[in-house]
Amino acid sequence: MSSDYPYVGRFDVNRVLPETGRPRDEVLAELTTMAKEEDAFWETGKCSGTMYCGDHDHYAFLTEAFGLYAHVNALQRDMCPSSTRFEGEIIAMALDLFHAEAVTDGEPVGMLTSGGTGSICHAVLAYREHALQQRGVTRPNMIKPETAHPAFDKACHLFGVELRHASIDPATTMVDLAAVEALIDDQTIAIIGSACNYGYGTVDPIAELGRLAIEKGIGLHVDGCLGGFILPFGQELGYDIPLFDFRVPGVTSISADTHKYGYALKGTSTLLFRNKAIRNSQYFFLTDWSGGKYTSPGMDGSRSAGLLAATWASMVHLGRDGYRGYAKAIFETAERMQQAVRSHPELRILGKPTFLFSFTSDEFDIYHVNDFMRGRGWRFNGQQYPNAIHMAVTRPQTQSGVTQAFETDLADAVAFAQQHAGETPMSGAIYGGVAGGMTDEADEFIKSVMAGMLDTQQAVPGT
Ligand SMILES: Cc1ncc(COP(=O)(O)O)c(C=O)c1O
């Protein structure tokens, strides 16, 4: 898809609400055309991350579950006690996955949010409120490894919490413990570790961070948004993945996205707390409003019960052995792809990755490799400091023929990069996809990219 607006000229652009509605079959035909074309992009298995399951039968099953409850507002629990069942059981299953049974110093609980950013926002809010209530902290700060997700920066920005960035060890890509410790003061509410981080697929030293958190009397949030629903199964399969869950003393909360390796529909994530008191401190309620007493357990107001139903359906349908089976295929594929990268001395894998790996080159700009691979239909995620590209292996890559294509295309890409080493590559570091040309970090340019996602395209002359 080369343009952001490929449908101009093919379909009408709705700049006003149509006076007369269109027949359902016509509307559905238009939607189907776009969906099928867009799905074809990742169905090849050449797209990093984002499509975690990739199985249209599974999606159809989830869509059916969603459809039964899509129109229901999960806020009105008297009308939908099923939502209470779904939400409670999703949280209970996630607590089980992260070994809440090992907790002897708290009462583990959880909540469901709209996604990874939603879980991180709720975690930051909960720590802020809890620290205010319990310790009188009025100038809160949190400490994140430089590699932790920007959702923490966003959450801290939104909630007036100072975020301090701890450096990482470039050799391992794991956070430097001494750097974290040096940043802690009496206003620190929590520190953060990733299991695993988005950039490199590496896991921070959670046990050591837990010890530090206990020593300083502060929280430790483990960001398992990406890895939460796959790393535990990697551990069960014998992969060398350190403990990062509630078995680790000092871990006070974990975010884990059901809408990633939980293979649910987009729009849900779990946030789990070692101790009920932290979760409960972020509740908002208004008891004296003329419209009635208002309360909702998280930041959202109305929510579709369909997403709760579909998430629940995914978890109970797959079960532990379903997740383990998918994890096995993904880890094996990731290993084979990493071997392909290691077979080229010009390439260097960063740190000790898991199902997601990132590589760079000390001989040429790695974006030359990316430029070439794009031509062969690959879509990686781009990184900077140093320039690197990463592949988050998901189920579409486990299809037969994909690793072979990766091996062949990578070999050709390395040869291409060597030939073009002195030139400037086309692509650059952009989260969620390596688009060409976005090397300019000027605020106005970035704002125009965001506006482009929201605004209807301008009329193109002649269309
Ligand atoms: C480690 C990590 N944390 C948080 C997030 C944010 O999740 P979301 O995009 O669902 O808000 C991501 C997204 O990829 C992630 O990889």
| Separation of CA 9 and ligand 1 centre (Å) | 35
Beta bridge partners of 271: 111, 255
C-alpha to C-alpha distance for 298 and 332, rounded to whole angstroms: 38
Q: Count CB-CB contacts under 10 A for residue 237.
A: 14
Task: Say if 350 falls within a structural domain.
Answer: no
Helix (H, G, I), strand (E, B) or coil at 179: helix
Q: Is the dihedral of CA 446, 449, 455, 459 positive or negative?
A: positive
| Separation of CA 447 and ligand 1 centre (Å) | 21
Task: Say if 260 falls within a structural domain.
Answer: yes
Of 257, 268, 300, the residue with max ligand 1 atoms within 8 A of its CB, to mutate for a pocket test, comes to: 257
Task: Say if 332 falls within a structural domain.
Answer: no
| Separation of CA 149 and ligand 1 centre (Å) | 7
Ligand 1 atom nearest to CA at 49 = 14
Please give the pLDDT value at position 460: 52
Helix (H, G, I), strand (E, B) or coil at 168: strand
CATH number at residue 300: 3.40.640.10
| Separation of CA 441 and ligand 1 centre (Å) | 22
Low-confidence stretches of the chain (pLDDT beneath 50): 1, 434-438, 462-463
pLDDT in tens, 297-318: 999 999 999 999 999 999 999 9
Residue ID of nearest Cα to ligand 1 atom 5:
116
Residues with CB under 6 A from ligand 1: 115-117, 149, 151, 194, 197-198, 223, 225-226, 257
Strands annotated E in 139-250: 141-145, 162-166, 168-169, 174-175, 188-194, 219-224
Ligand 1 atom nearest to CA at 197 = 1
> Tokens representing 228?
């939460």
Q: Domain of 295? A: 81-314
Strands annotated E in 201-258: 219-224, 253-256
Residue ID of nearest Cα to ligand 1 atom 7:
116
Residues ≥6 apart with Cβ < 8 Å to 216: 184, 188
Task: Say if 146 falls within a structural domain.
Answer: yes
pLDDT in tens, 124-169: 999 999 999 999 999 999 999 999 999 999 999 999 999 999 999 9
| pTM: predicted TM-score of the whole model, two decimal places | 0.95
Task: Say if 163 falls within a structural domain.
Answer: yes
Question: Are the C-beta atoms of residues 229 and 259 closer than 8 Å to each other?
Answer: no
Residue tagged 């990132």 (tokens): 358
Number of structural domains (the chain) is 1
Residue tagged 């700060």 (tokens): 141
| Separation of CA 180 and ligand 1 centre (Å) | 22
Q: Count CB-CB contacts under 10 A for residue 105.
A: 9
| Separation of CA 394 and ligand 1 centre (Å) | 15
Please give the pLDDT value at position 444: 84
Of 47, 112, 117, the residue with max ligand 1 atoms within 8 A of its CB, to mutate for a pocket test, comes to: 117
Residue ID of nearest Cα to ligand 1 atom 6:
116
Please give the pLDDT value at position 450: 85
Please give the pLDDT value at position 435: 47
Residue ID of nearest Cα to ligand 1 atom 8:
116
pLDDT in tens, 367-385: 999 999 999 999 999 999 9
Longest dimension (CA), the chain: 71
Task: Say if 192 falls within a structural domain.
Answer: yes
| Separation of CA 117 and ligand 1 centre (Å) | 6
Task: Say if 284 falls within a structural domain.
Answer: yes
**DSSP code of residue 195:** S
Task: Say if 448 falls within a structural domain.
Answer: no
Of 52, 114, 149, the residue with max ligand 1 atoms within 8 A of its CB, to mutate for a pocket test, comes to: 149
Please give the pLDDT value at position 4: 81
Question: Are the C-beta atoms of residues 245 and 256 closer than 8 Å to each other?
Answer: no
Helix (H, G, I), strand (E, B) or coil at 229: coil
Please give the pLDDT value at position 436: 42
Residue tagged 């884990």 (tokens): 256
- DSSP H helices, 376-462, are 402-419, 443-454
Of 48, 124, 198, the residue with max ligand 1 atoms within 8 A of its CB, to mutate for a pocket test, comes to: 198
